[in-house]
């Protein structure tokens, strides 16, 4: 069966990458296959996860590429060489330019640890998102998978899942629960949905 080729972009530990690898192994991502992992941080633990799963990986840093434009050019080249159909941002802490996202329109998805439009946009990543949710006193948070466009966290929403905030929550306990109850479930589901759409489009183009 033909599958959509997936690249996963990472910056850190790679827990969302692991969720994708495990979901593919269980057959939950049936329309796509992870063919490449790209890190913008040298030595990111996510690269170990890729190696254990036998997935080719690559490290590209803005510094080594001479800035944002060079980084995106090298990234684009690597994705095209591997014939990538779908790019999944999984804890990727670098904002891609509008020019790059336009070149890959409806082909890049991102997971964000809140219910967009709450606690999102520039500067909202990692623990900061959960700290703000607790500071505001909201009773429900969650995660959102969305398409990537020129606005940080501004693309069309694909899937969302709510997670209750408990009275005793800290930013750390909330972050963990949002990962377990929302992120690790939503991202594989969205990867399957979008991969299936891409395959359908490809089949339509061939017809």
The DSSP bridge partners found for residue 159 are: 145
Nearest partner of 26 among 142, 192, 146, judged by Cα:
192
Give the E-state strand segments of the chain in sequence order: 4-10, 32-39, 57-59, 86-89, 108-112, 140-147, 157-164
Give percent above pLDDT 90 in the chain. 94
Grouping H, G, I as helix, E, B as strand and the rest as coil, residue 118 is coil
Is residue 206's pLDDT more than 80?
A: no
For residue 117, say if its preceding peptide bond is cis, omega within 30 degrees of 0.
yes
Residue 207 has pLDDT above 70, yes or no: no
Query: What domains appear along the chain, each with residue ranges and CATH number?
Result: 4-206 (3.40.50.170)
Mean pLDDT for the stretch of residues 175-181: 97
Say which of 107, 112, 130, 146 is annotated catalytic. Answer: 112
* Residues 118-161 pLDDT 10s: 999 988 999 999 999 999 999 999 999 999 999 999 999 999 99
Nearest to 152 by CA among 122, 188, 111, 132: 122
Place of tokens 């949905």: 193
pLDDT of residue 187 exceeding 70, the answer is yes
Query: Each residue of 79-112: pLDDT tens digit?
Result: 999 999 999 999 998 999 999 999 999 999 999 9
- The predicted-structure confidence for 2-13, as pLDDT tens digits, reads as follows 999 999 999 999
Does residue 112 carry a catalytic annotation?
yes
């Amino acid at each position: 069966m033909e599958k959509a080729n997936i690249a996963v972009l990472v910056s850190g530990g790679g827990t969302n990458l692991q969720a994708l690898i495990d979901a593919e192994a269980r057959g939950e991502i049936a329309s796509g296959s992870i063919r490449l992992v790209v890190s913008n941080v040298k030595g990111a633990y996510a690269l170990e996860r890729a190696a254990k799963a036998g997935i080719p990986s690559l490290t590209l840093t803005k510094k080594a590429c001479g800035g944002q434009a060079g980084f995106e050019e090298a990234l684009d080249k690597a994705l095209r060489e591997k014939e990538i159909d779908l790019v999944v941002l999984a804890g990727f802490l670098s904002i891609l330019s509008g020019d790059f996202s336009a070149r890959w329109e409806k082909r890049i998805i991102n997971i964000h640890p809140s219910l967009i439009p709450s606690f999102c946009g520039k500067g909202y990543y990692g623990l900061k998102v959960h700290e703000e949710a607790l500071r505001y006193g909201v009773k429900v948070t969650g995660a959102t998978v969305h398409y990537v466009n020129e606005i940080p966290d501004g693309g069309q929403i694909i899937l969302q899942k709510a997670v209750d905030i408990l009275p005793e929550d800290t930013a750390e306990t909330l972050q963990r629960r949002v990962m377990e109850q929302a992120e690790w479930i939503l991202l594989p589901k969205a990867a399957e949905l979008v991969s299936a759409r891409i395959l359908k489009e490809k089949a339509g183009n061939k017809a």
